[in-house]
Amino acid sequence: MIAVKNKVIWITGASGGIGEALARELAADGARLILSARRHSELQRVRDSLANSTAHLLLPLDITDSSAVTSAVATIQQQIGGLDWLINNAGISQRALILDTTADTDRKLFEVDYFAQVNLTRQALPLLLADGGGKVVFVSSVAGLVGTQYRGSYSAAKAALHLWANSLRAEMFEQGLTVVTIFPGFVKTEVSRNALTGDGSALGTMDDAQANAMTADAFAEKAVKALLKGKNYIVIGGLKERLAALVSRLSPELLYKMIRKSKVR
């Protein structure tokens, strides 16, 4: 088992949903957290709810702003001096058919869900490697393994992130870096309300599948348990999502038939 007590862990997208739940779980285990998201007031709310709240650093950040990421990494270096884990959790989803989605919306999804994650990770690597190792965690999606209706560009961006993580894992193994990818299924958060429609506006409503899904706290408990066991490929979701992830590896042709008949809204 891997202990997280006193480890410095940076969580992006920490102002709600999965990020907030991961923060609660890790803080309860004694980690020292760096919490990032765009909304400072929500980050403050999250920090106030955590165990040992004064030990955690608030670092408001738009991960798509590369110069802001550079400044954030410098702040961590100056105020803390190092970094043990980076959890790339910030992201945005999609709820639009491919024919209804503009090129600008495609690019925005990739900017947030792929390019920003890659840039932030690359900039944080010197801090993670300074003590001979570190852990990078990418929150991808089961959609990035299987591809579903209404999530064409989102699925593609999450799949790209997964494969970039695979390359990073191979390239940095000798330097002691551990790379983990988590593939959530449906989790009851605000993700569908904030998801982009075809023209780039927010959907504004919660999907039925999202509303009936596992809670963010249940997800976080499973995720942290798997991380502490040293797992590097982690699928968390209901039976259908876990089955789809398995079938994607064993029988892609069967998967295609399953996805066509699936209810994903």
Q: Which residues are catalytic?
A: 154
8-state DSSP, 149: T
Number of Cβ atoms within 10 Å of the Cβ of 185: 21
Number of Cβ atoms within 10 Å of the Cβ of 6: 10
CB distance 174 to 131 below 8 Å? no
d(CA 50, CA 56): 9
11's enclosing H/E stretch is strand 8-12
**Backbone phi, psi, residue 72, to 5°:** -65, -45
d(CA 20, CA 12): 10
Non-local (6+) Cβ contacts of 204 within 8 A are 193
Residue with tokens 């920090």: 47
Q: Which amino acid is at 168?
A: L
d(CA 20, CA 24): 6
